A and B are shown apart, each in its own frame.
Chain A
Amino acid sequence: MKQVNAISGQDLREMFVAATGWLEKSSAEIDALNVFPVPDGDCGTNMLLTMRSTMEEAYRAPDRSVSAVSQAMAKGALMGARGNSGVILSQILRGLAQSFAEKESFTAVDLVNGLQQSVTMAYKGLSNPVEGTMLTVIKDVAAAVQAQVSSDGGDLISVMESAVNAAGESVANTPMLLQVLREAGVVDAGGQGLYVILDGALRYLRGEMEQMRFRKPQIIVSEIHATKLPQMIAADEVPYGYCTEFLLKGEKVKTDKIRSKLEKKGESLIVVGDESAVRIHIHTLDPGEVISYAASLGTLHQMSIRNMDEQHQDYLEMQKDRAPAVDMAIITVASGDGLADVFNSLGTSAIVPGGQTMNPSTKDLLQAVESVPSDKVIILPNNKNIVATANQVQSLTEKTIEVVPAETIPQGVAALLAFDYEANLSTNVQIMKKAMSGVKSIEITRATRSTKIGELKIKKKQPIGLLDGDLIATGKNNADVLDQMLAKLDLDKVEVITIYYGADTKSAEAEEISSRIREQHPQLQIEVVRGDQPHYNYIVSIE
């Protein structure tokens, strides 16, 4: 078996060139792991850019001694360090350079000392070193290398093997040490990057340059599944269609041509390889198209297609269930999936189905109150006939109940929007009542019977319009009624009109009505929302 007892400056440089190339292949995946310290999803790219700057400088070394090359690398890393991981990486390289000073080549013992120095430098650099990160990984690597050298001696290939194995184990263990990783179900991104760099260096020493061209570094998978999604989700983790990856083997394959052809088919396109083998990676909405194109050029291998939107949907579902982080809960009464979405998205803890002609019972409201994890509960009845029911809940529960007497959906929405995360219960009730009074509500429905109210003659099933509960208009169709009602309002002081259309109403009609209002009142912000509410064709909020 091949043995290496000393490494020259030139070999050190080539080793890290190989490691940088190796890192490049997985930098996007490392980006995706990035949740700590800031989940900005660029850890892999930052480490890669740091390594590039490191290697550029390495070629400017005054001679080929390991001393000169490592000094140059440390300088390049220092000046080009990007991101937190890049900065720690530069500290590690500085440690090595300090230990290699004055040396023509380095031995296993020098490496042991160098890595110890790296650990010291990396820890010293941070005011608050956190375990379960790159720091832990480099510490574990240094310990393993020391153990290997003292038991088995100075073959640098064996030493690097022990380093890579230790790094892999250490990375896999990071979620056990750092809660944010555990919750996100990922390993530490910086640690993974370090593992890939060490692995790349080892592969160079073993003379595996050829194999490296067609392979990718191993990404260590956390054995722990995410218990909750990271509180903050990173850019590069935002999924997009299908992550499609495969190896294309053929003859005289042109990577440039493939790249330009696939560029418009999706995002995060990577096309790497040579005339006979090309690795293709793309996030696309239509993997079929990409694959049939590639299949026309040669044979496909190592095919992997992952649905990234699935993960994203799960995330959105969790978002939905997430109530604002307060000790107060808000319960609303509403019917229709669209309205439920609106209230949910604005931070309602529970929705009790109900509304006009379907008033919920006190018991229904009480159940909702008991189901939420807060001791203080605000109820938004959103209907005149439900306010009294809501007021009874207090006598049946030990929780503190406040009823904000919204009589319409728009009043309920306005009240909910005004909810202040920092204010206490009584202040919030005041703020919400005030916000509620600033909105006008129009409801358009059908007359249940023929009648005459004041001057208005109404036929059965004719569209009628209520303004804050009072019947004030009738007409031949919904648009006509709404026009009449808007004409009676002073729209100069109005900023936003929101139109919720009902389950029996076509969205095209709602759009038509809104574009007409927009034409007549260009200063208004008009929003059309699918409310799915029964009974009312339209509920219109005027703020």
Chain B
Amino acid sequence: MPVRVVTDSVADLPPQVVEELGITIIPLNVRFGEEVYRDGIDLTNEQFYQRLTTSKILPVTSVPSPGTFAEAYDKLAEETDEILAIILSSKLSGTYEVARQSIGLMKRKCRVEVVDSQCAVMAEGFLVIAAARAARAGASLDELLGIVRGNIPRVDMRAAFDTLEYLRRGGRIGAAQAFLGSALRIHPIITMKDGVVEPAGRARSRAKAIDHLYRFAAGYSHLEEMAVEEAACPDDADLLVERLSTKFPKERIYRSKTTPVIGTHTGPGLLLVAVMGDK
């Protein structure tokens, strides 16, 4: 019985990958006022960004309930003896804690290990994909833990923001707050380091910001995975994919939209590139 892999909706995994590799996704929640939606399930990306820009109430996000995790674990436990959950940075969200606590609520007996990915979006997604593939190939849970931990330093990302306002509102801005309050219009570039948001650069124009993302990914000597994600700016993403296709096969670049939970903290206009590889 292969190990089953669980992750959260923030990993932004494309649906076909989820299906192909049999990954279980636990949704975080997005809340507008007192209306609660499950990330990517009750609210599509299109509906969400439409609402984000028109709604008077700003959305907030919350962790999945322990019951959601426990139910999912129990369901998988019918088919396997070992479960691996790879969860977004514990410094950005309490989801990691909930995923761990929920083990105690399981009705079935099954070994569950939870790993803090120290990242989010497809950088987290790559860890999940690599683990799910290895699990299919017959790797044990202990072997998978080694694989994930070995891959954590090999994933990285850069994100160009239109505004840091949403990140600030949501309280996840970290050291990137040095970019706030600029008297000039700048396009901030953000990365994640040790699980927290960090500033990576600032550009005076959107074109320069996109160029920054390109140079970041193109600077790798060896690339295994690449993803370009966007929040309501598909044209910019197309442009970036086109440029990156000289460095990495275009058909292997995952192209996705960030989920509502990520969108809540970034706002529209986010463009990011995530990679797994060696510099």
Q: Which residues of A does B touch, CB under 8 Å?
A: 37-42, 45-46, 49, 78-84, 86-87, 90-91, 124-127, 231-235, 238, 316, 319-320, 322, 324-325, 338, 341-342, 344-347, 413-414, 417, 420-421, 495-496, 498, 525, 527, 529, 543
Q: Which residues of B does A touch, CB under 8 Å?
A: 29, 31, 34, 36, 58, 60-63, 65-68, 92-94, 97-98, 100-101, 104-105, 168-175, 177-178, 180-186, 198-208
**B184 adjacent to A527 (CB under 8 Å):** yes
Selected A-B contacts with CB under 8 Å, 24 pairs: A40-B60, A42-B62, A46-B62, A79-B65, A79-B68, A81-B67, A81-B98, A84-B97, A125-B97, A125-B101, A233-B171, A238-B169, A319-B180, A325-B175, A346-B183, A346-B186, A413-B184, A414-B204, A421-B178, A495-B207, A525-B185, A525-B206, A527-B185, A529-B183
Cβ contact of A498, chosen from B67, B97, B184, cutoff 8 A? B184
The 10 closest A-B pairs by CB, nearest first: A39-B171, A235-B169, A495-B205, A84-B94, A79-B67, A345-B183, A40-B171, A342-B183, A125-B101, A81-B65
Q: Which of A45, A78, A87, A529 has the most CB of B within 10 A?
A: A87
Known: A232-B172, A496-B205. A127 touches B184 (CB 8 A): no
CB distance from B119 to the nearest CB of A (A): 16
CB distance from A486 to the nearest CB of B (A): 18
**B170 adjacent to A40 (CB under 8 Å):** yes
**A341 adjacent to B58 (CB under 8 Å):** no
**B170 adjacent to A417 (CB under 8 Å):** no
* Nearest-neighbor residue (CB-CB) of A340 within chain B: B183
Known: A84-B94, A90-B66. A125 touches B184 (CB 8 A): no
**B204 adjacent to A417 (CB under 8 Å):** yes
Complex Cα–Cα for A134 and B244 (A): 49
Q: Which of B58, B67, B207 has the most CB of A within 10 A?
A: B67
**A83 adjacent to B94 (CB under 8 Å):** yes
Cβ contact of A83, chosen from B63, B100, B174, B177, cutoff 8 A? B63
Known: A38-B94, A319-B180, A347-B178. A87 touches B34 (CB 8 A): no
* A-B residue pair count with CB separations less than 8 angstroms: 141
**B94 adjacent to A87 (CB under 8 Å):** yes
Cβ contact of A232, chosen from B66, B177, B181, cutoff 8 A? B177
* Nearest-neighbor residue (CB-CB) of B175 within chain A: A325
* Nearest-neighbor residue (CB-CB) of B64 within chain A: A81
**A495 adjacent to B204 (CB under 8 Å):** yes
Beyond the given A126-B101, A417-B203, A495-B205, could you list 16 further A-B residue pairs with CB under 8 A, ordered by the A residue number? A38-B94, A42-B31, A46-B62, A79-B65, A82-B31, A86-B65, A87-B97, A91-B101, A125-B101, A125-B104, A232-B168, A324-B199, A341-B183, A342-B184, A346-B186, A417-B186
* Nearest-neighbor residue (CB-CB) of A232 within chain B: B171
List residues of chain B with CB within 8 A of the CB of A38: 92-94, 171-172
Complex Cα–Cα for A78 and B104 (A): 12
List residues of chain A with CB within 8 A of the CB of B169: 234-235, 238
**A81 adjacent to B178 (CB under 8 Å):** no
List residues of chain B with CB within 8 A of the CB of A324: 178, 199
List residues of chain A with CB within 8 A of the CB of B31: 42, 45, 49, 82
CB distance from B127 to the nearest CB of A (A): 20
**A233 adjacent to B60 (CB under 8 Å):** no
List residues of chain A with CB within 8 A of the CB of B178: 322, 324-325, 347, 421
List residues of chain B with CB within 8 A of the CB of A232: 168, 171-174, 177
List residues of chain A with CB within 8 A of the CB of B61: 40
List residues of chain A with CB within 8 A of the CB of B204: 414, 417, 495-496, 498, 525, 543
**B171 adjacent to A49 (CB under 8 Å):** no
Complex Cα–Cα for A41 and B199 (A): 23
* Nearest-neighbor residue (CB-CB) of A52 within chain B: B34
**B60 adjacent to A49 (CB under 8 Å):** no
List residues of chain A with CB within 8 A of the CB of B104: 124-125
* Nearest-neighbor residue (CB-CB) of A80 within chain B: B65
**A346 adjacent to B184 (CB under 8 Å):** yes
CB distance from B208 to the nearest CB of A (A): 7
CB distance from A382 to the nearest CB of B (A): 15
Cβ contact of A345, chosen from B184, B200, B203, B208, cutoff 8 A? B184
Complex Cα–Cα for A206 and B11 (A): 50
Known: A346-B184, A417-B202, A498-B184. A87 touches B171 (CB 8 A): no
CB distance from B222 to the nearest CB of A (A): 22
Complex Cα–Cα for A322 and B199 (A): 15
Complex Cα–Cα for A83 and B174 (A): 20
* Nearest-neighbor residue (CB-CB) of A531 within chain B: B183
Complex Cα–Cα for A431 and B92 (A): 31
* Nearest-neighbor residue (CB-CB) of B182 within chain A: A345
List residues of chain A with CB within 8 A of the CB of B180: 319
List residues of chain B with CB within 8 A of the CB of A495: 204-205, 207-208
List residues of chain B with CB within 8 A of the CB of A80: 65
* Nearest-neighbor residue (CB-CB) of A128 within chain B: B97
**B62 adjacent to A345 (CB under 8 Å):** no
List residues of chain B with CB within 8 A of the CB of A127: 97, 100
List residues of chain B with CB within 8 A of the CB of A496: 204-205
Known: A42-B60, A84-B94, A235-B60. A78 touches B67 (CB 8 A): yes
**A82 adjacent to B63 (CB under 8 Å):** yes
CB distance from B82 to the nearest CB of A (A): 20
**B185 adjacent to A421 (CB under 8 Å):** no
Cβ contact of B177, chosen from A79, A124, A231, cutoff 8 A? A231
**A81 adjacent to B66 (CB under 8 Å):** yes
**B181 adjacent to A316 (CB under 8 Å):** yes
CB distance from B60 to the nearest CB of A (A): 5
List residues of chain B with CB within 8 A of the CB of A319: 177, 180-181
**B101 adjacent to A87 (CB under 8 Å):** yes
Known: A38-B93, A84-B97, A234-B171. A421 touches B184 (CB 8 A): no
Q: Which of A316, A324, A347, A417 has the most CB of B within 10 A?
A: A417
Cβ contact of A233, chosen from B34, B62, B94, B168, cutoff 8 A? B168
Q: Which of A78, A342, A413 has the most CB of B within 10 A?
A: A78
* Nearest-neighbor residue (CB-CB) of B169 within chain A: A235
CB distance from B174 to the nearest CB of A (A): 7
List residues of chain B with CB within 8 A of the CB of A238: 169
Complex Cα–Cα for A466 and B194 (A): 48
* Nearest-neighbor residue (CB-CB) of A417 within chain B: B202
Complex Cα–Cα for A81 and B69 (A): 12
CB distance from A305 to the nearest CB of B (A): 23
Known: A79-B67, A84-B63, A495-B208. A235 touches B201 (CB 8 A): no
List residues of chain B with CB within 8 A of the CB of A529: 183-184
Complex Cα–Cα for A173 and B63 (A): 28
List residues of chain A with CB within 8 A of the CB of B93: 38
Q: Which of A39, A124, A232, A341 has the most CB of B within 10 A?
A: A232
* Nearest-neighbor residue (CB-CB) of A435 within chain B: B204
